Structure 1
Amino acid sequence: MQISVVRPSELGPAEVAEWRQMQESQPRLHNPFLAPEFTLAVGRSRPTARVAVLEDGPEIVGFFPYEVRHRVIGVPIGFGISDSQGLVHRPGLDWDPIRLLKECGLAVWEFDHLMADQSPFAPYHSYVAKSPIIELSKGYQSYVDDQMSDGNLIRQALRKQRRMVRELGEERFEWEDRTEGAMLALRRWKSAQYRRTQQYDRFRTPWIQAVLEELRDSSAADCRAVVSTIYAGDQPVAAHLGLRSRSVLAYWFPSYDVDLARHSAGILLCLRMAEAGAADGIEHIDLGKSEALYKNRLTNDELPVAEGCVGRSPAVASARRAQSALARSVRTGAVGDRLRAGRTGRLLRGLRARRHER
């Protein structure tokens, strides 16, 4: 097997077509973050974006998109906003992760949303999480019927929807809302949420802004960003910026008007997106890994995703894995609550911001 490294912009039409064909032939690769359009968009805003092209004789058999940090540290393409990572390849391909890193000139490659079923990377997993999904392959009504039997989340959402209509006006849902007002409301609500939760504001990071704008303007069937919005009367109450392929919608940037939180418009928006998405060919909505209660109540299936680090030097890889484990415990544990509230929390937030601005 030969491995060559190029910038995303150096991929020609034939290579991009081959990448798409590999995706289309395997449902597990249908996530839009694995599409060539996502890598190309990131590459136009991130000078350190690269793609390793794997060839077997005259045939291309795989693509490995990544970014370079500090010359020898590799991370997935679009790291920080990508919720599905891995190597896009022909069915049945096997590869040596250590040789892959060597050919890419990397000492380590870190990942946090790796498809856990990519077996060559399995020895390098440090943690495997469950990413909840809304499975819609049998249609929206089948999903609703299953959820009704498990609890009353949908009944609650519809009851609150009726109250919202009485208080604010008729509900209107836009599956692909191209108005600037919807995007402005989403950004305003999401930025306020980042401030409340003491996270860095992704909408203020230039390269992320550029990628989002390019994908919003795209008409590509396999990778484009779409805004879905719920209005009550003429007032937007909840909006979501997602990334979709033909069959997968990645739940990406959800937001809502906190002054109207009593109406649970965020939950209602998920249900409306599931209904409209199922009618538009979406087979599942990937909600993204987290411990959020509402995701656990909406999900009817899950996908395993892995965190970890591949390293050519065992000592370096071990040290990076330890750093990742500490970061995960800070994010999810009680120690994180204490750190986020004080000086150390401010330092960690600054480091996270710089990590994604590089």
Structure 2
Amino acid sequence: MDIRVYRPGELTAADRAAWTALQSDAPLHGAPELANPFLSPEFALAVGRCRRGVRIAVVREGGEGVAYFPFQRTAAGVGRAIGLGVSDAQGVVHRPGFTWDAGELLRACGLAVFEYDHLVAGQRPFEEGASGTFPSPVIDLDQGFAAYLSGLRARSPKFTRTTLAKERRLGRDAGEVRYVHDERDPAALRTLMAWKSAQYRRTGRSDRFAQEWITRLVAQLFHTRSAPFAGLLSVLYAGDRPVAAHFGPRTGQVLACWFPAYDPAFAKYSPGLVLHLRMAEGAAADGIGQLDLGRGQKEYKDSLKTRDIQVSEGWVTRRHPVAVGHRARRAPVRALRNAVVTRPELFEPADRLLKRIGKIRSKQAK
């Protein structure tokens, strides 16, 4: 393989165009998972502006780019999926039929180990190092919103009826319900981030927006606009007041559900659920075929989804002491977290404890 590694700013316009074309054509070749916006050049370049160590490996055949592999690396040769911790799709974007030798690719990239937690399906050379595979719910919209809503009524009649009734009640109590699919007001984005930070604190979770690089990344993506890619802010209003919002990246085929939040003052109306239904309607009208709800077990995802796709986590390594040390440090943490998340008898008490801690943190913040 002819493999060359570039810094984000060194990637040529021709390579960006070729990468985008591979993504756009992927669903036609039976690899829709490669169309995810987290696998796009725009996402990689945005992370590169906010994080050190971002690199992009380009594999060429006959001078033509046939595969693109974005990653982050340390000076010691530890590699991570780009945006690890916030990226919901990871892997190599490649032409149909292309395969690679994982060891050769890592060697060319100067990596002893490559860690991932949302590896998309079809990445067989990397899947050999997977420590677990997990469901990631999606909403299929390729048949249009009316077909999706009809299917939702059949699968979850009470959920659908209740959610639509709450939307009507919200309109009666708080003013006409209005949905903006592509809101360009930066103030609305700041409101969303404030809601999300408060939600993290209430539930005892780590506040992602307390990490400066994530805040910068969201701002970068909000202002990123190209033909196939955009950072999309969607807002649900009651009267003139925003009551729920979501920000996530989109390509022509997929909208990734990334940062949803709502105003707790309107919680009884389930504005987050109303927002997701409006997002599905807006996405279908925009020609988007899928909402990717992201890995993680949530009741609202189970209600909204049409099916699950699979993502994997794990490591791919070369024989190297750095790889042995990194895996020895990370494996127990991963195993413990997954044991808690996947077992209700462990997750429920842990979740209650985090929420108690969150209440204390919220009181202290006031």
- The alignment's TM-score, normalised by the length of structure 1, stands at 0.91
C-alpha distance in structure 1 between counterparts of 2:118 and 2:341, whole Å: 15
Matches within 5 A, 1:251-270: 251-270=257-276
Q: Of the candidates 236, 241, 250, which is equivalent to residue 235 of structure 1?
A: 241
Matches within 5 A, 1:146-295: 146-152=151-157, 153-295=159-301
C-alpha distance in structure 1 between counterparts of 2:248 and 2:63, whole Å: 37
Give the C-alpha shift of residue 233 in structure 1.
1.1
C-alpha distance in structure 2 between counterparts of 1:297 and 1:241, whole Å: 21
Matches within 5 A, 1:10-89: 10-27=10-27, 28=32, 29-69=34-74, 71-89=76-94
C-alpha distance in structure 2 between counterparts of 1:228 and 1:199, whole Å: 24
C-alpha distance in structure 2 between counterparts of 1:265 and 1:212, whole Å: 22
C-alpha distance in structure 2 between counterparts of 1:170 and 1:338, whole Å: 39
Q: SS of the counterpart of 1:106?
A: coil
- Residue 303 of structure 2 is aligned to residue 297 of structure 1: yes
- Residue 112 of structure 2 is aligned to residue 107 of structure 1: yes
- Residue 329 of structure 2 is aligned to residue 324 of structure 1: no
Q: SS of the counterpart of 2:66?
A: strand
C-alpha distance in structure 2 between counterparts of 1:317 and 1:47, whole Å: 19
Give the C-alpha shift of residue 70 in structure 1.
5.7
Q: Which residue pairs with 2:126 in the alignment?
A: 121
Q: Which amino acid aligns with 1:42?
A: V
C-alpha distance in structure 2 between counterparts of 1:229 and 1:331, whole Å: 30
C-alpha distance in structure 2 between counterparts of 1:296 and 1:340, whole Å: 21
Q: Which amino acid aligns with 2:10?
A: E
Q: More deviation in 53-62 or 89-98?
A: 53-62
Q: CA RMSD in A?
A: 2.0
C-alpha distance in structure 2 between counterparts of 1:182 and 1:318, whole Å: 41
Q: SS of the counterpart of 1:25?
A: helix
C-alpha distance in structure 2 between counterparts of 1:339 and 1:269, whole Å: 25
Give the C-alpha shift of residue 252 in structure 1.
0.4
Q: SS of the counterpart of 1:255?
A: strand
C-alpha distance in structure 1 between counterparts of 2:206 and 2:350, whole Å: 18
Give the C-alpha shift of residue 204 in structure 1.
2.4
Q: Is contact 2:24-2:252 (8 Å) kept? A: no
Q: Which residue pairs with 1:8 in the alignment?
A: 8
Q: Is contact 1:75-1:111 (8 Å) kept? A: yes
1:287-315, CA deviations, whole angstroms, 9 ceiling, x for partnerless residues? Answer: 00111011001001221111111111384
C-alpha distance in structure 2 between counterparts of 1:203 and 1:83, whole Å: 17
C-alpha distance in structure 2 between counterparts of 1:103 and 1:282, whole Å: 36
C-alpha distance in structure 1 between counterparts of 2:102 and 2:275, whole Å: 41
Give the C-alpha shift of residue 205 in structure 1.
1.7
Q: More deviation in 18-27 or 51-60?
A: 51-60
Give the C-alpha shift of residue 255 in structure 1.
0.1
Q: Which amino acid aligns with 1:206?
A: E
- The alignment's TM-score, normalised by the length of structure 2, stands at 0.89
Q: Is contact 1:116-1:128 (8 Å) kept? A: no
Q: More deviation in 131-140 or 96-105?
A: 96-105
C-alpha distance in structure 2 between counterparts of 1:136 and 1:338, whole Å: 35
Give the C-alpha shift of residue 335 in structure 1.
4.8
Q: Is contact 1:9-1:44 (8 Å) kept? A: no
Q: SS of the counterpart of 1:26?
A: helix
Q: Is contact 1:311-1:317 (8 Å) kept? A: no
Give the C-alpha shift of residue 3 in structure 1.
1.4
Give the C-alpha shift of residue 234 in structure 1.
1.3
Q: Is contact 2:78-2:326 (8 Å) kept? A: no
Q: Which residue pairs with 2:363 in the alignment?
A: none
Q: SS of the counterpart of 2:154?
A: helix
1:219-271, CA deviations, whole angstroms, 9 ceiling, x for partnerless residues? Answer: 21322211111111111111001111112100000001112111011111000
Identity of aligned residues (%): 44
Counting matched residue pairs gives 344
Q: Which residue pairs with 1:352 in the alignment?
A: none
